[in-house]
Amino acid sequence: MTVKDAFLRVEGLAKRFPSSKGELTVFDKVDFGIAKGEFVCIIGHSGCGKTTILNVLAGLEQPTSGFVFMDGREVSGPGLERGVVFQGHALMPWMTVLANVSFAVRSRWPSWNRAKVDAQSRRFIELVGLSGAEHKKPSELSGGMKQRVGIARAFAIEPKMLLLDEPFGALDALTRGVIQDELLKICAETHQTVFMITHDVDEAILLADRILLMSNGPNARIAEVVRNTLPRDRTRLTIHHDPQFYKIRNHLVDFLVHRSKLIQQGGVDTAAGASGGPLEVSPGLEPDAPDPAPTVPAPRLHAVR
Partner 1 sequence: MNSERSLSLRAAALSLLILVVLLGAWHLATAPSGTATASTADDEYAKLMGKAASSAAKTDGLPTLAQMADTTVKHLSAPFYDNGPNDKGIGIQLGHSLLRVGAGYLLAALVAIPVGFMIGMSPLLYRALNPFIQVLKPISPLAWMPIALYTIKDSSASGIFVIFICSIWPMLINTAFGVASVRRDWLNVARTLEVGPMRRAFEVILPAAAPTILTGMRISMGIAWLVIVAAEMLVGGTGVGYFVWNEWNNLSLTNVIFAIGLIGVVGMLLDMAFAGLQQYVTWKE
Site for partner 1, rule CB under 8 A: 58-60, 78-80, 82-84, 86, 88, 90, 92-95, 103-104, 107-108, 137-139, 157
Cβ distance to partner 1 smaller for residue 145 or 201: 145
Of 97 and 220, nearer to partner 1 (C-beta) is: 97
C-beta of 141 vs 252, nearer to partner 1: 141
* SS3 label, residue 11: strand
Q: Which conformational region is residue 158 in: left (phi greater than 0), alpha (psi within -120 to 50 degrees), or beta?
A: left
Least distance to partner 1 from the beta carbon of 86, Å? 6
First-last CA distance in the chain: 34
Q: Which is nearer to partner 1, 90 or 268 (CB)?
A: 90
CA distance 135 to 185: 25
Provide the minimum distance between the beta carbon of 35 and partner 1 in the complex, in angstroms, as a whole number: 23
Min CB(57)–partner 1 separation in Å: 11
- Based on CB atoms, which residue is closest to partner 1, 159 or 277? 159
3-state secondary structure at position 272:
strand
Q: How far is the CB of 103 from partner 1 (least distance, A)?
A: 7
Helix, strand, or coil (residue 4): coil
Q: What's the closest the beta carbon of residue 80 comes to partner 1, in angstroms? A: 5
Instruction: List the one residue out of 210, 285, 207, 231 whose CA is nearest residue 3.
Output: 210
| Closest by Cα among 134, 133, 125 to 153 | 125
